[in-house]
Amino acid sequence: MRIAQPAHRWFAGLLLSAASALALAQAAKPHVVVLATGGTIAGAGASTLNSVTYVAAKVPVEKLLAGLPELASVARLTGEQVFQTASESFNNEHLLTLARRVSALTKQADVDGIVITHGTDTLEETAYFLNLVVHSAKPIVVVGSMRPGTALSADGALNLYNAVSVAASQDAAGKGVLVTMNDEIQSGRDVAKSINIKTEAFKSQWGPLGMVVEGRNYWFRAPVKRHTVHSEFDIDAIETLPAVDIVYGYGNMNTTGIEAYGKAGVKALIHAGTGNGSVAAQAVDALKALRAQGVQIVRSSRVPDGFVLRNAEQPDDKYDWVVAHDLRPQKARILAMVALTKARDSKELQRIFWEY
């Protein structure tokens, strides 16, 4: 004789089965770790009309993720607050600490992708640094926003959703460190902040790698410069970064800055020149003198697009200088710092600038 189960037991069993199915479904999703560092994406303004005037780095990562419940349908998320800072103050120690944490996470079998929330002022520099020193094919995505989450038409929520979506995607693996802003998927090497008051602020002269639309990736090109798993540099072998600074070139420039950086003990000086990395006549001897002291001189350009040609404008072979290729001054500084942890002469440094 069959005894009917009480209704409450049947209902409890149904709930338990549903909860188990939900837990299994969530566990099957890719595990993405969100490392928060502050910036506008974690900022807040006094009113919804404050899209430019606000305080950056206020919202903690758990609140940032809780405000976007749609992420649960994309990935299983873990959030970590690595820093809470505005990115204009992101220094070398921040870079090293963040890269070491990213590297450690990529070695965990249960981590499928990583997202770094970051202020936009130096986002491109951090993305390029990670692109050079983290040895992993797992998707690593850096994301920010141009407006705080409190503003009308805030862009951070969709940018973050897209970043998690890309980091959770198998087709994003092996493409180097990526930046997702304004629906575009950009190479961390190529992208640069090109305007400070529009949401489409991040551009590359070579174009985006692809787009992410409603959680789906559309790819159009792939990076060809060395990065991540193909890099000869490894954050696990880098203890400190050498001093590298930038001097800005202009027609009436004097040599005060060049000489001051030499006295400060820089290991390399990036010259942000006009046009094709041109150097004002009155600055040439000061740079030559600095090179004679052992400081590496790297000619870059303050022009947003294009690239610097070797032995054009200046006799680089004769002066033993290096050209930055298509890297803007701020990224040339990042590569020079990383390169000088291994490179010992200008020829080796120039090879690295060609390859990375």
Q: What residues are labeled active site?
A: 40, 120
User: Which H or E element spans position 301?
Assistant: strand 296-301
Q: Is 276 exposed, middle or buried (0-12, 13-18, 19+ CB in 10 A)?
A: middle
Contact call for residues 276 and 310 (beta carbons, < 8 A):
no
CA distance 186 to 184: 6
Q: How far apart are CA 93 and CA 75, in angstroms?
A: 30
Instruction: Give the integer Cα–Cα distance in Å for 356 and 343.
Output: 14
Kind plus residue range of the DSSP H or E element containing 213: strand 210-213
β partners of residue 113: 32
- Gap between the Cα atoms of 140 and 186, Å rounded: 12
